[in-house]
Structure 1
Amino acid sequence: MVVKTKKHRVSTGALVLCVACVSATAQSDDGLSESTYLSEMPVVLTVSRLPQRVDEAPAAVTVIDRQMIKDSGAWDLSEVFRLVPGMFVAYHASRTYMTESVVSYHGLMSETMSSRMQVLIDGRSVYSPLFGGVIWNDIPIVLDDIERIEVVRGPDSASYGANSFMGVINIITRHSADEQGKMVSFAAGRGRDETMARYGSRNGDLTWRITASVRNDKGEDSDIHNPPANASFVWTRNKFDDKRIQQLSLRTDYQINSTDTLEFQFGYNGGPRQAGETYDIVAPNKRAENYFTELHWRRELDQGGELSVKYYDAIESSTATLVQTDPAQPPLAANMNNGDVTARRHDLEVQHTFSSGKNTRIVWGGNVRHDTVFAPHDLGGGGIANAGTPDNYEVSAYDLSSIFGNVEWRAMPDLLFNLGAMAETNSYTGTAISPRVAANWHFLPGHTLRLGYSEATRSPTVAEKRWEQYQRITKNHPLLPDLLAEQVKAFDLGYLGKFRNLDVDFRLFQEHYTELIADHRDDAANHGNLNSGRARVTGFETQLKWDISKQTRLIYALAHAEVDSPDVDRIPYTDSVPTNNQSLMLTHSLNSHWRVSLIGYQTGKTHFDRTDYDLAQGREYFIPVVHRWDGRVAYSFRTGKGKGELALNIQNINDSRYYEFRHDNQVPGRTAWLSLRLESD
């Protein structure tokens, strides 16, 4: 049974589940006291930069805690975000600079690098300056060091500036004091294995931990399973995506005195990689080397205030000799096969939080950033430009400075206002101001309405800026105007309800996107407007957390979105958002030793700009609806003074050989692995 919308259909099974859950628990709300409600409401740190209860934050937010990450059975960090309503995840869809998964909120992607969302680790941006987006497997972090993940579902440039365009992911790692003692873990299964070790200790007011891991991952199967009978060779092969990931991270936390703390972090991620696809430019022997160092000083002030200064230095680098594998194309010339990339970022941020009265809290601050990118192929000889481009085009710099602020004002005990904005200046598009205003009304204990409006921008990536120069100089468009920052205006109406055993988050949204940068298409330059894209996205999202019993929990997410766009310059935004996607996680503790989980995902029919099709070879225009089930069975035990866990993880239980993003991007079939974890003090 389905409910029909203007152009699409929505599964009513999900809606019936929502109504049934609310109906089954609503009558128990009478026993929920205000003190119980306040004590159980989670606190988030990301949305406005102020610690706030989730029902007082000025935007919708999903919290993925440590237990959810474990229960999901995720192998890659990117897979965790399949649990977020409205998030599109595609396994190893990116195929040029690196072979990497796509993580995008609300789609609107014209390429695999989802460059319209900001990703932070402990507030440090890992947004790649070259193509935008995130290289998930190159981040120096392991899943086991994550405390929780906060996902802001909607524009958040008021807090984190340009590129926080559709949303923000903030990955918060564990304090070193929470990971003391020794831990080792081993995992092995079909096409993948990992060894990890961690040690944490304390010396007076200094705590520290060090984590090291080695992971081997063969990625997609080399051959596509059961291709169309008349398919050409290119449609029968997956991408080159084998990788070996070596990671090392260090975190120290020092309590200098009663008010001052100093945190230091260092991370390394490196190893051999493969990148590229059949009949394309590939990097068969690529190697990644990524580092970061971070120093963060905090001082506690009176009445809950804080002053903090944070500096980090990050290097994203890789070396590769590129090879042309398409027999119809000539081999790459010597000046075009250098696939090396080095991107370096220096960032300094100051933030001050204080209370100006009994009912008002304020956070404000600013930051300066300097990025440099060296990429001979992508910025010079063989990528966006061509052999005639000057050599100095291989190096590009990007500078940014900003000032931000957010005021939280409790006008009445049950009515809260948040007013925030960021003024940001960058070397590509000049100055932009991104405001946000939101009101949260607790109309009953445990029930909140949120109304919000925000504006956000996205500045061009280094590659997009170089493409503009290429069009102006090499393609003979001397009067082509400069690239502008992309713009969005977003309206948000949310409801958060807390019943005795059920948390409900429901959101209606409408987002108006303008000045969207064309996807390296000559059409846009020929028409004299590189910012030709426009789209309006409307829809709703809901997420439920239902504690069915003390042993059993159900977490469910549903998103429905529709896009209206003129689709100019061959950029079909109209169908680039899955109309419906759903996720479900059911967990149950059989006893103190055994815990099981079942996870299901559904992604609606989707077409992206790079989704090739060929009707003669049985390739449809759309990637069809995707269904997948994962599972995990874990056994916990004690061993001497320590503890351990043995777990069986299974992904794609039904062995579905489906495609994601493109018809030559087939995910692995059923994949299982065993993991053993041992800990001691």
Structure 2
Amino acid sequence: MSHLAHASDLFINDQAVPEVLTATHLYQPPAAVPGSISSIDRELIVASGARNITDVLRLVPGMLVVPDSGNLTTVNYHGTSPGQARRLQVLIDGRSVYRAGFAKVDWTNLPVAIEDIQRIEVFRGPNTVSYGANALLGVINIITVSAKDAHGTVLKSNLGENGIRDWYARQAWHSDRSDMRLSLSGLADNGFDKREDGSDFRDGRRLSRFNLRANHQLDERNSIDWQLAFKEGSNQINNHYRPAFAEVINPRADEQDDNSDEKATDYGASLRWTSIINSKHSISVQGDVQQWQRQREWRACDAQLAFSPELNELWRISSAQQREDLFNRKRISNASPRQDYLQNWLGSKLLGPIPLPHSCGLISEESRESRFDLELQDTYSVSDSLRLISGLSYRYDQARSQTFLNGRQRKDIIRAFSQFEWYATPHWLLQGGGMFEHDSSNGDSFSPRLAVNYLFTPAHGLRAVYSEAVRSPDMFENHADWRYRVHDLRPQVSQGSTADFFISAQGSGKLKQEKIKAYELGYNGHFAAQRLSIDIKLFEEKITRMISHRPRLESFNLSNHDHIKFYGGEFESNWQATSKDRLRLSYAHIKERASNALDQDIAPPHSGSFTWLRDWQNDWSSSLMYFAAQQLDKNDLQLANLRLAKQFNWGDKRLTVAGNLQKTLNNQPIGRTNNKDNSHDKVYATVQLEF
């Protein structure tokens, strides 16, 4: 901004101010952003020793990272049910990896290695105006290393306890006008292994990834960036299935499977063309294609009665309360109250001696989701004080599942968006814009944002922001047709070796979009001489028409009746204290009022992190990271990461050897209560060779 170069500059001493991209698709100094944004740079990612993206997201104030098992972690901002984190948009180089069919982000299954990540920008607040529905609470933008910034060969391995066996290989090629980066990687571990009560807990994982990124400079004004990504693997899952008539059948152990592991395969491809028309005007077109596949199968048993068409019909015509009563009764024993209830509920169907005759068959849970996304974006500087960004996009989403959707669901989304950035004076910055979205399943919506920044200098500013955003119900929430067709029944039932289980669930098709209204006051400052950056945020957010649920086959009654309100403050600072010491601090104070018990007492009232990076000279370095949260999903979090590394250099070759320790500092599980105390404790070594 040339018109700001002459402004009174009390702090930055003409040093460059770092810029961020995620807030508005425009590069902006953090003080000029219409909201709060955190940036986790490459140095922090490497120093953390993290094997998972979710581990470094704990550095972001207000971000809730809750492991449910060793291979399933949810990431949420501020709160709402941690088991169903549905309200964050997640991007990899601009490609959304939010699954519209089942409203989730599979963090374990993302087709990107942490070694390929250049930085992670997190916009902390509603941002539907820039990224469409589902950026309800924030946006996580994972930005990978550009092909032109990757050089030579990199080989890396992690080896340690809990079955940690990771590997990574990268090769880069360069020519006059083209650059290419290829990486292959794998990750494996045994998960937590033990439940809180000490029993076995199968939650390990194994995955392999392929990533190819290329940049081509066609001429001085035109460039193309394209990517291919692939991931395949399996996640161990304990079989949580419990027969409807478990207490009145007596199957043998060898007739059922204890495990029901998931096979996961993801594909992704993107192509982006950028044309710089002149110094004030540029356009870009990006197209993405993606596919997610999930498959689980296991053998289980139930009473032959459970496969009868008569019982299926009885379930269909029963009221929601009758169904709830059936499954909330105490477990059956002979002549128990629940058995009497079943007798009345089923009528003559439950006559005869106990145990009832049973059959065992193959149960399958499968899904396939695909997406095509095309976006045109135009950036135009009308003058030195006014910039405009606008665009159009079309997205096609499809989900197929015989189990969850009884076939196929699809939707088309058309978007039009525009934002402006206007420096009314060198100190006053006004930003605004909106996103219009037509969703063939959920109708039309409009999400606006208006922000005013007062800039003392380009590096120091106050902000006031008002924004609205929406989240569309996913295909499963709105159009579920959830039923199990059981195959290979032994012995056969009257219908043969294939029959429908009597319990099923249907979505209403009438759910509306969730909506949030958010207010924010904040300050961002960059003290270049002191090498210190600070961000402070005060916020109030209210989500209405909220859909709160943990999906259950026997109780699937979703509505827009719930709401939640968050308010509090956040603080983040980054300080290069000396040439050898870097300190980072984050803190969040969150209060919430929720109408549904599922969303109550989830957000910790106090949480934060402390990071110390140290260069000890002679190529020795260390990092210490401490994370704490009070009552994160009803458990206190105290977690420390320690890394010590030594680097060896031989000409253009570099070898790095590091030891990594992750240690819980109290005797409580991390987040959820089904993993063992101190289950996050692990030690592993890292060896990396670059040449």
TM-score, normalised to structure 1's length?
Answer: 0.82
| 8 A Cα contact 1:270 1:290, kept in partner | yes
Q: 1:384 — aligned with what?
A: none
| 1:633-680 residue CA offsets vs partner (Å, 9 max, x unmatched) | 1111202421121111111164x5532343213362421111111111
Matched AA of 2:536 = F
Give the whole-Å Cα distance in 2 for the aligned partners of 1:357 and 1:144.
40
For the residue of structure 2 that corresponds to 1:82, the secondary structure is helix
- Does structure 2 retain, via aligned residues, the 8 Å contact 1:155–1:454? yes
Post-superposition shift, 1:476?
Answer: 10
2:521 paired with 1:493: yes
Once the two structures are overlaid, the 10-residue window that deviates more, 38-47 or 585-594, is 38-47
- Shift of the 79–243 alpha-carbon distance from structure 1 to 2, 3 Å rule, reads same
Partner of 1:75: 51
Residues 1:243 and 2:271 aligned together: no
> Does the CA contact (< 8 Å) of 1:450 and 1:493 recur in 2?
yes
Partner of 1:549: 578
Matches within 5 A, 1:118-267: 118-191=89-162, 192-224=164-196, 227=197, 236-237=198-199, 239-267=201-229
Cα offsets for 1:447-481 (capped at 9, x unmatched): 310000000000011211124999xxx99999x67
Match of 2:629 among 584, 588, 603: 603
Q: Is the 8 A contact 2:230 2:267 kept in 1?
A: yes
1:559 counterpart residue number: 588
- Of 403, 406, 413, the residue aligned with 2:426 is 413
Which residue of the partner structure matches residue 561 of structure 2? 532
* 2:276 counterpart of 1:300: yes
Cα distance 1:486–1:185, how it changes in 2: closer, same or farther (>3 A)? same
- SS of corresponding position for 1:340: strand
Q: Deviations over 1:348-384 (max 9, x none)?
A: 11111111122100111121111111222233xxxxx
Q: Give how far 1:182 is off.
A: 1.0
Tell me how far 1:521 sits from its aligned partner.
7.2
For residue 592 of structure 1, report the CA deviation from its aligned partner: 4.5
Taking the aligned partners of 2:264 and 2:441, their CA distance within structure 1 comes to 28
Corresponding residue SS for 1:293: strand
Letter of the 1:222 counterpart:
K
Give, in whole Å, the separation in 1 of the partners of 2:687 and 2:637.
31
Report the 3-state secondary structure (helix = DSSP H, G, I; strand = E; otherwise coil) of the residue aligned with 1:137: coil
Of 652, 670, 686, the match for 1:660: 670
Higher Cα radius of gyration = 2
Unmatched runs of 5 consecutive residues or more in structure 2: 1-7, 243-256, 304-330, 333-356, 484-502
Distance 2:397 2:516 in 1: 25
Q: Residues of 1 paired with 2:358 and 2:537: CA distance?
A: 52
1:158 is paired with a residue of what secondary structure? helix
Q: Does 1:309 align with 2:285?
A: yes
Question: Aligned pair 1:374/2:400, yes or no?
Answer: yes
Shift of 1:240: 2.7
CA-atom RMSD in angstroms: 2.9
Contact kept, 8 Å, 1:337 with 1:377, in 2: the verdict is no
Residue 463 of structure 1: SS of its match in structure 2?
helix
Shift of 1:326: 10
Contact 1:349 1:367 in 2 (8 A): yes
CA contact (8 A) 2:504 2:553 kept: no
CA distance in 1, matches of 2:173, 2:301: 51
User: Which whole-Å CA distance do the structure 2 matches of 1:165 and 1:459 have between them?
Assistant: 10
Q: Is the 8 A contact 2:195 2:675 kept in 1?
A: no
1:390 aligns to what? Answer: none
Q: Distance in 2 between matches of 1:525 and 1:468?
A: 13
| Distance in structure 2 (CA, Å) of the matches to 1:332 and 1:194 | 42
Q: Which secondary structure state, in structure 2, belongs to the residue aligned with residue 301 of structure 1?
A: strand
How far residue 305 of structure 1 moved from its aligned partner, in angstroms, is: 2.8
Instruction: Report the AA paired with residue 35 of structure 2.
Output: A
Contact 2:372 2:396 in 1 (8 A): yes
- C-alpha contact (below 8 Å) 2:545/2:563 kept by paired residues: yes
Contact 1:240–1:277 at 8 Å: present in 2 too?
no
Shift of 1:282: 7.4
Within 5 Å, give how 1:12-91 maps onto structure 2. 33=9, 36=12, 39-91=15-67
Which residue in 1 is equivalent to 2:380?
354
Q: Tell me the distance in 1 between the aligned counterparts of 2:481 and 2:402.
A: 17
Which amino acid in the other structure matches residue 569 of structure 2?
F
Shift of 1:180: 1.8
| Alpha-carbon spacing, 1:184–1:660, altered in 2? closer, same or farther (3 Å) | same
The count of residues paired between Structure 1 and Structure 2 equals 597
Query: Which amino acid in structure 1 is aligned with residue 635 of structure 2?
Result: P
After superposing the two structures, state which structure 1 stretch, 504-513 or 278-287, moved more. 278-287
On the 8 A contact 2:29/2:459 being kept in 1, the answer is no
Q: 8 Å contact 1:34–1:446 — kept in the other structure?
A: no
Change (3 A) 1:476 1:315: closer
Q: What residue in structure 1 maps to residue 232 of structure 2? A: 270
SS at match of 1:347: strand
Normalized against structure 2, the TM-score is what?
0.81
Question: Shift of residue 522 of structure 1?
Answer: 9.1
Match of 2:441 in 1: 428
1:278, distance to aligned residue in structure 2 (A)? 4.9
1:378 match: secondary structure: coil
- CA deviations on 1:316-356 (whole Å, 9 max, x unpaired) are 1122213459998999975x722222111111111111111
CA drift of 1:444 comes to: 5.3
For the residues of structure 2 that align with 1:456 and 1:253, how far apart are their CA atoms? 34
Change (3 A) 1:205 1:277: same
How is 1:2-21 mapped onto 2 (pairs within 5 angstroms)?
none
Greater alpha carbon shift after TM alignment, 438-447 vs 286-295: 438-447
Question: Following superposition of structure 1 onto structure 2, how do residues 93-132 of structure 1 map, counting pairs within 5 Å?
Answer: 93=69, 99-109=71-81, 112-132=83-103
Instruction: Report SS of the residue matched to 1:43.
Output: coil
Aligned CA distance change for structure 1 residues 377 and 444 (closer, same or farther; 3 Å): same
| Residue aligned with 1:339, SS | strand
Q: CA deviation at 1:594?
A: 0.8
1:25 is matched with none
Percent identical pairs in the alignment equals: 29
CA change 1:194–1:538 in 2 (3 A) is same
Q: Counterpart of 2:12 in 1: which secondary structure?
A: helix
Which amino acid in 2 is paired with 1:517?
Answer: I
CA distance in structure 1 between the partners assigned to 2:258 and 2:83 by the alignment: 16
- Amino acid corresponding to residue 579 of structure 2 in structure 1: K
Q: Distance in 2 between matches of 1:554 and 1:513?
A: 35
> After alignment, is 407-416 or 543-552 more displaced?
543-552
Change in Cα spacing, 1:525 to 1:363, as seen in structure 2 (3 Å) is farther
Please say if 1:507 is aligned against 2:520: no
Superposition deviation, residue 263 in structure 1: 1.1
Structure 1 equivalent of residue 349 of structure 2: none
Deviation of 1:193 after TM superposition, in Å, equals 1.3
Task: Name the counterpart of 2:413.
Answer: 400
Query: Whole-Å Cα distance in 1 between the matches of residues 13 and 664 of structure 2?
Result: 38
Question: Quick check: 2:549–2:558 contact (8 Å CA) kept in 1?
Answer: no
Q: Return the offset for 1:261.
A: 0.5
Q: Distance in 2 between matches of 1:318 and 1:522?
A: 19
Q: Over residues 289-317 of structure 1, what are the superposed CA-to-partner deviations in whole Å (9 max), with x where a residue is unaligned?
A: 11111111111122243211111111111
Aligned to 1:23: none
**What amino acid maps onto 1:138 in structure 2?**
N
In the TM superposition, residue 132 of structure 1 has moved relative to its aligned partner by: 1.4
Change (3 A) 1:529 1:176: closer
Matched, 1:466 2:479: yes
Give me the whole-angstrom Cα distance separating, in 2, the residues matched to 1:124 and 1:477. 31
Q: Give me the whole-angstrom Cα distance separating, in 2, the residues matched to 1:152 and 1:76.
A: 20
Contact preservation (8 Å) 1:283, 1:321 = no
Partner amino acid, structure 2, of 1:492: E
Cα 1:42/1:223, change in 2 over 3 Å: same
CA separation of 1:349 and 1:332: change in aligned 2, threshold 3 A: farther
